[in-house]
Amino acid sequence: MEKIKQLIDKLKNEHSLSLSEYESLLNGRTAEIQEYIAKEAEKVRISVYGRDVFIRGLIEISNRCKNNCFYCGIRKDNKNCDRYILLKEDIINCAKEGYNLGFRTFVLQGGEGVYKVNDICDTVKEIKEHFPNCAVTLSLGEMLKEDYIKLYEAGADRYLLRHETADEEHYKKLHPKELSFKNRMECLKNLKEIGYQVGCGFMVGSPYQTNKTLAKDLKFIENFSPDMCGIGPFIPQKDTPFKNFPAGDVNTTLYLLSVIRLIKPNILLPATTALGTIDEFGREKGILAGANVVMPNLSPVTVRKKYALYDNKICTGDESAQCRTCLEKRISKIGYRISVSKGDIKKQF
């Protein structure tokens, strides 16, 4: 117990541990340790961001995808997925509604190989013309460097591309052979070089994940030093090859959120929808464990159920305004407040 607390204190002071120390930290989790690290993470988070929680409006622009990730409900081979593509006008309308609700960041997420890059560039430009004081985040998977450059030049500020796992063998177990760990890592490197604020991340409890692979994820986050990191539990989806695997668990996710906050005190760390799906109060617990971002859904209600990455996803029947009000209440109940701002990473603190 004391040894693990020492590791936590070391991480808090030095923001770095060795691979084997990360592994010991993961192996040594007990209820008491979990409480201890969550308190430390909350202190750090409050010292950097106070009690502000940043909101990002998530617009799920299409569920078509050319890929076949084994875990993902919108994979190409899922014949039960009712496909849709939002038009530029639909996306702009979602952003307008979001702006009126206080959102100053829009996240355009979707499957891959659907839109022409120039079309996404037009959409990004138009959002920036309407809302010059807002940030646009893209989460559209792997692309060529030249396409990432075009999108950046069109005005995109941030890019979310979860690395999924920092262990190459594990990566192969989660993806078909057309997708490679090397390309994923190359994409992340390119995004950073171009100048995007970059987010990586992974699913907690994904099939074949171990504390050894998780330790590599933590070391990767330490070295890559992303601006954002999206972690949430893996949740099986009934039409995927991983349908019979168990979901990731809440406490491991919360523990990892706290560890990541100590690795990088100013990181932007969402309490994800997946966390809110496996536990009614998952997002609140996430904030109390060190997260400082929530990403409510701004997609049109007509398509929400169709963006079914995993089963039983929350907020698929609610209007954007309902989601906004609901989160506001939940966040104020735990003593935090929603910030109406772009919510950039704090460089000085």
List of residues contacting ligand FES (CB under 6 A): 65, 67, 69, 72, 74-75, 111-112
274 binds ligand SAM (CB under 6 A): yes
The sign of the CA dihedral 128, 131, 137, 139 is negative
Q: Which of 49, 54, 71, 103 binds ligand SAM (CB under 6 A)?
A: 71
112 binds ligand SAM (CB under 6 A): yes
In the complex, minimum distance from the CB of residue 240 to ligand SAM, in angstroms, rounded to a whole number:
7
In the complex, minimum distance from the CB of residue 165 to ligand SAM, in angstroms, rounded to a whole number:
10
197 binds ligand SAM (CB under 6 A): no
Query: Where are the alpha helices (H) located in the chain, listed in sequence order?
Result: 2-14, 19-27, 31-49, 88-100, 117-130, 145-154, 168-174, 181-194, 211-224, 250-263, 273-278, 282-288, 301-304, 320-333
Nearer to ligand SAM, 213 or 237 (CB): 237
Nearer to ligand FES, 240 or 258 (CB): 240
Distance in angstroms (rounded) separating the CA atoms of residues 246 and 252: 14
In the complex, minimum distance from the CB of residue 178 to ligand FES, in angstroms, rounded to a whole number:
11
Residue 271 — φ and ψ, nearest 5°? Answer: -90, 105
In the complex, minimum distance from the CB of residue 10 to ligand SAM, in angstroms, rounded to a whole number:
29
203 binds, among ligand FES, ligand SAM, none (CB under 5 to 8 A by kind): ligand SAM
Nearer to ligand SAM, 106 or 234 (CB): 234
234 binds, among ligand FES, ligand SAM, none (CB under 5 to 8 A by kind): ligand SAM
162 binds ligand SAM (CB under 6 A): yes
Q: How many CA atoms lie within 13 A of 152 on its CB side?
A: 18
The residue range among 15-23, 85-93, 108-116, 327-335 that interacts with ligand SAM, by the rule CB under 6 A, is 108-116
What is the size of the binding site for ligand SAM (CB under 6 A)?
Answer: 19
| Structure token digits, residue 115 | 């839109």
Nearest partner of 218 among 173, 267, 177, judged by Cα? 267
In the complex, minimum distance from the CB of residue 75 to ligand FES, in angstroms, rounded to a whole number:
4
The answer to whether 40 and 280 are in contact (CB under 8 A) is: no
99 binds ligand SAM (CB under 6 A): no
SS3 category, 85: strand
75 binds, among ligand FES, ligand SAM, none (CB under 5 to 8 A by kind): ligand FES
DSSP secondary structure letters along 33-49 = HHHHHHHHHHHHHHHHH
The answer to whether 8 and 258 are in contact (CB under 8 A) is: no
Rg (CA), the chain: 19
In the complex, minimum distance from the CB of residue 333 to ligand SAM, in angstroms, rounded to a whole number:
26
237 binds ligand SAM (CB under 6 A): yes
The answer to whether 164 and 184 are in contact (CB under 8 A) is: yes
In the complex, minimum distance from the CB of residue 241 to ligand SAM, in angstroms, rounded to a whole number:
11
The answer to whether 293 and 343 are in contact (CB under 8 A) is: yes
Which residues of the shown chain bind ligand SAM in the complex (CB under 6 A)?
71-72, 109, 111-112, 139-141, 161-162, 164, 203, 232, 234-235, 237, 274, 309-310
